[in-house]
């Protein structure tokens, strides 16, 4: 099948690209466009060309699957130049997304028009590369250097209205893209054409501008290399002639394309697209999820309710008494108020979010819920009692879910009528922000219930990963191994501050000890104590010693570090040195690199065990859990990718 067709309507030709799923610029499409320029240049009847796409989107970029292979002609920068040099003006008509190479092709056109629902952008840095077909050179000529720096170094697309105001596109239409683009083309032919983008002037900012941007981009990049290299390209574009800037961009693109960071980010790109669509659910439809209930308005319940409301789902929030209900409602309100303060929501939107919440202590209000998620205390008796109440009031086909972190969902579901509707949905704190959702079926869970868990993830814009049942599921089980690994290094004499600094250097926002101080050491301690009380052999950890001495983290003024009142900066603690004195038996010296490599290998070893036991289906799922739930640096690809343990 041909990847494009040419149609003629009087003096205007329409080139329609049809290369599913996203019209990526495969070699065949590049060649097709290359040939279309020649065909239409040679056609004396044709005076202008509309470039439009079939399917869900305009050209979404270079074909990422070709990145591991040697580049094939025609090369994309040459194609963009060829479109720009065509004897007839080309007009890009954009719907969906014009991204990366797709937007670069559009910038080769003399005009760009779009539906108001469309977006355009240069997301290359999120794949560890820089735009490779003039994105850093043409964008500043259209939108100015400052806007180009924001677009290219963040990789974030902008909606059509914003693109119009920045000068990236020339017109926006509400509907009927093709008809409007044809009319635009006819009208354009009655006027003088604007110069091609490559010939437009550029105003170079001063050195202070670049120094300032280097600081902000370095901070936002958190160790990723591509945003800084993109900034170099933009500076070159502002200060050097077009051809020199193009050569610099191309070389940077080719250098980065083969880099470890780009390989890691491509791995994550495909892992994120594979995770939401498990093969075993391909033919299973989800249940409708129109109304939800949340039991418990604590940290997690309020966050889950906020996530549901953000997706437009009405929520009934249940608490155990009026006082707890008032607290839960206030927590939820505070989440939306915070979003207003950060400019993410308007006051009216926050009010709308709250208006969709029915807060009550009466379980009968759940009689028409399609889905109920419990987030009550981590106590099997409390959870069992809650499920009994749900079984009594909910429709027999309503999905009932638990947010437990460590309890065995099979025990929570025991005795439940219609257990096929039961499932574990493990959110991460803050539940309205963190993108990971571990989906934990019990043996009885019906395929439709499981498919509904994945559908919910899509509705909430979360990354779903299916986990089998084991203590801590995938994420917390690896976390436990990671912390144990860090404690083992500490026992061998590696200083706490060195271990934290090593993991920060690796790309985490915090090291394992600082992170525990922030979250509180007591939660994991209580979980271990619970296991001990149940007769299990759980060895004493160094964290236990700290908690028993009252050091539960920042909230008690100290944990692994000391904290001055009102100050979150960790200070080395002599009290901790004294408490642990007898347990530090070695004097091992390790540099930061070796520490990080060792701890990531520990995570990957646990991941390998998780795979061998069938708890996770794919190594890439484990990588997604670590990246989206535990702050593993995305550009490292996750512990399994980083250690080559994908197996």
What residues are annotated to the active site? Answer: 104, 124
Partner whose footprint covers residue 320, from ligand 3HC, ligand NAI, none (CB < 5 to 8 Å by kind): ligand NAI
Cβ atoms 50, 15 nearer than 8 A: yes
- Please, which residues bridge with residue 112 across strands? 92
- Could you give the 3-state DSSP secondary structure of residue 270? helix
Q: Enter the DSSP assignment of 329.
A: H
- Choose between 286 and 512: whose C-beta lies nearer to ligand 3HC: 286
Instruction: Supply 129's token pair.
Output: 């590369």
Residues 429-448 binding ligand NAI (CB under 6 A) are: 429
Residue 146 interacts with ligand NAI (CB under 6 A): yes or no: no
Shortest distance, CB of residue 110 to ligand 3HC, whole angstroms? 20
- Given ligand 3HC, ligand NAI, none, residue 131, with its beta carbon under 5 to 8 Å by kind, binds ligand 3HC
Taking CB under 6 A as the criterion, the residue among 120, 295, 345, 546 binding ligand NAI is 295
Tell me which H or E stretch contains 454.
helix 447-459
HSE-CB for 484 with a 13 A CA cutoff: 15
**Closest separation between CB of residue 105 and ligand NAI, Å?**
45
- 393 contacts 374 by C-beta, under 8 angstroms: no
Largest CA distance in the chain: 90
Radius of gyration of the chain (CA): 28
The tokens describing 450, both together, are 């499981």
Contact of residue 135 among ligand 3HC, ligand NAI, none (CB under 5-8 Å per partner type): ligand 3HC
Contacts with ligand NAI in 298-317 (CB under 6 A)?
298-301
Selected binder of ligand 3HC within 62, 515, 625, 640 (CB under 6 A): 62
Residues facing 400 on adjacent strands: 372, 422
Which partner, ligand NAI, ligand 3HC, none, binds residue 512 by CB below 5 to 8 Å per kind?
none
Strand partners, 25: 62
According to CB under 6 A, which one of 20, 87, 165, 377 is a site residue for ligand NAI? Answer: 377
Beta bridge partners of 159: 119
Residue 278 binds ligand 3HC, judged by CB under 6 A: no
β-strand pairing of 357-360 with 422-427: unpaired
CA dist 256 and 449 (Å) reads 43
Does 382 help bind ligand NAI (rule: CB under 6 A)? Answer: yes
The residue (of 194 and 415) whose beta carbon lies closer to ligand NAI is 415
* Residue 97 in contact with ligand 3HC, rule: CB under 6 A: yes
Closer CB to ligand 3HC, residue 103 or residue 422? 103
Burial of 593: CB neighbours in 10 Å, binned 0-12, 13-18, 19+: exposed
Shortest distance, position 227 Cβ to ligand NAI, whole Å: 31
Kindly state the smallest distance separating residue 272's Cβ from ligand 3HC, in Å: 8
Q: Is 123 in the site for ligand NAI (CB under 6 A)?
A: no
65 contact choice in ligand NAI, ligand 3HC, none (CB below 5 to 8 Å, kind-dependent): ligand 3HC
Give the integer Cα–Cα distance in Å for 521 and 486: 14
Q: Which of 6, 11, 64, 518 binds ligand 3HC (CB under 6 A)?
A: 64
Instruction: Dig out the tokens for 355 from the structure.
Output: 């208006």
> Which among 242, 239, 241, 213 has a CA at the least distance from the CA of 227?
213
x-or-dash string of contact with ligand NAI, 393-432, rule CB under 6 A: ----------xxx---------------------xxx---
Q: Shortest CA distance to 315 belongs to which of 362, 353, 363? A: 353
Handedness of CA 127, 129, 132, 137 (dihedral sign): positive
Cα dihedral angle (103, 109, 115, 118), rounded to 10 degrees? 0
Q: Does 645 bind ligand NAI (CB under 6 A)?
A: no
What's the CA gap between 644 and 620, in Å, rounded?
Answer: 11
Query: Is residue 487 at the binding interface for ligand NAI, with CB under 6 A as the rule?
Result: no
Minimum CB–partner distance for residue 634 and ligand 3HC (Å)? 14
In the list ligand 3HC, ligand NAI, none, the entry touching 296 (Cβ below 5 to 8 angstroms by class) is ligand NAI
Residue 24 found at the interface with ligand 3HC (CB under 6 A): yes
Decide if 48 contacts 91 (C-beta within 8 A).
Answer: yes
The contact pattern for ligand NAI, residues 335-374, with x = CB under 6 A and - = no contact, is ----------------------------------------
> How many other C-beta atoms can be found within 10 angstroms of the C-beta atom of residue 546?
26
Q: Is the dihedral of CA 410, 414, 420, 422 positive or negative?
A: negative
Cβ 537 to ligand 3HC shortest distance, Å? 45
The binding site for ligand 3HC (CB under 6 A) comprises 21-22, 24, 56-57, 60-65, 76, 97, 99-101, 104, 123-124, 127, 131-133, 135, 273
The binding site for ligand NAI (CB under 6 A) comprises 295-301, 318-320, 324, 328, 375-378, 382, 386, 403-405, 427-429
């Amino acid at each position: 099948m041909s990847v494009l067709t040419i149609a003629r309507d009087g003096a205007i030709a329409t080139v329609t690209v049809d290369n599913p799923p996203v019209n990526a610029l495969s070699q065949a499409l590049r060649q097709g466009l290359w040939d279309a320029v020649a065909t239409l240049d040679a056609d004396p009847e044709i005076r202008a060309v509309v470039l439009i796409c079939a399917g869900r989107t305009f050209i979404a970029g270079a074909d990422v699957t070709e990145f591991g292979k040697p580049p094939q002609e025609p090369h994309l920068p040459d194609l963009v130049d060829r479109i720009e040099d065509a004897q007839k003006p080309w007009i890009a008509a954009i719907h969906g997304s014009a991204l990366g190479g797709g937007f670069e092709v559009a910038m080769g056109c003399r005009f760009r028009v779009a539906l108001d629902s469309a977006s355009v952008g240069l997301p290359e840095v999120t794949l560890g590369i820089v735009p490779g077909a003039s994105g850093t050179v043409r964008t500043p000529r259209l939108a100015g250097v400052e806007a180009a720096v924001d677009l290219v170094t963040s990789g974030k697309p902008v909606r059509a209205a914003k693109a119009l105001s920045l000068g990236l596109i020339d017109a926006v239409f509400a509907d009927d893209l093709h008809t409007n683009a044809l009319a635009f083309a006819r009208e354009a032919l009655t006027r003088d054409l604007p110069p091609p983008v490559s010939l437009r002037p550029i105003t170079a900012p001063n050195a202070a501008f670049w120094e300032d941007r280097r600081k902000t981009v370095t901070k936002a990049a958190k160790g990723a290399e591509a945003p800084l290299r993109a900034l170099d390209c933009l500076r070159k574009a502002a200060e050097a002639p077009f051809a020199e800037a193009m050569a610099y961009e191309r070389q940077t693109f080719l250098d980065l394309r083969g880099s470890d960071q780009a390989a890691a980010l491509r791995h994550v790109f495909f892992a994120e697209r594979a995770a939401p669509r498990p093969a075993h659910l391909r033919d299973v439809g989800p249940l409708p999820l129109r109304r939800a209930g949340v039991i418990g308005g604590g940290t997690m319940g309020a966050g889950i309710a906020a996530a549901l409301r953000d997706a437009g789902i009405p929520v009934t929030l249940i608490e155990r008494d009026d006082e707890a209900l008032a607290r839960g409602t206030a927590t939820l309100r505070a989440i939306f108020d915070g979003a207003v303060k950060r400019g993410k929501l308007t006051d009216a939107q926050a009010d709308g979010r709250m208006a969709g919440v029915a807060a009550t202590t009466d379980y009968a209000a759940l009689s028409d819920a399609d889905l109920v998620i419990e987030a009550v205390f981590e106590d099997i008796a409390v959870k069992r009692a809650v499920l009994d109440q749900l079984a009594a009031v909910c429709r027999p086909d309503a999905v009932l879910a638990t947010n437990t972190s460590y309890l065995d969902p099979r025990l929570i579901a025991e005795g439940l009528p219609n257990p096929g509707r039961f499932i574990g949905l493990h959110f991460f704190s803050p539940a309205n922000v963190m993108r990971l959702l571990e989906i934990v079926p019990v043996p009885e869970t019906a395929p439709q219930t499981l498919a509904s868990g994945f559908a919910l993830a899509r509705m909430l814009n979360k990354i779903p990963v299916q986990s089998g049942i084991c203590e801590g599921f995938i994420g917390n089980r690896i976390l436990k191994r990671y912390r144990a690994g860090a404690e083992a290094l500490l026992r061998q004499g590696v200083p706490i501050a060195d271990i934290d600094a090593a993991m920060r250097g690796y790309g985490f926002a915090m090291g394992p000890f600082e992170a525990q101080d922030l979250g509180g050491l007591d939660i994991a301690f209580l979980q271990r104590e619970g296991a001990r009380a149940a007769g299990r052999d759980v060895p004493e950890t160094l964290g236990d010693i700290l908690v028993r001495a009252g050091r539960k983290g920042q909230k008690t003024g100290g944990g692994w570090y000391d904290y001055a009142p009102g100050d979150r900066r960790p200070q080395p603690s002599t009290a901790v040195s004294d408490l642990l004195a007898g347990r530090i038996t070695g004097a091992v010296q390790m540099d930061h690199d070796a520490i990080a490599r060792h701890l990531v290998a520990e995570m990957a070893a646990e991941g390998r065990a998780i795979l061998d036991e069938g708890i996770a289906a794919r190594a890439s799922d484990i990588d997604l859990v670590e990246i989206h739930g535990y702050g593993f640096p995305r550009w490292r690809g996750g512990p399994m990718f980083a250690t080559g343990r994908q197996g």
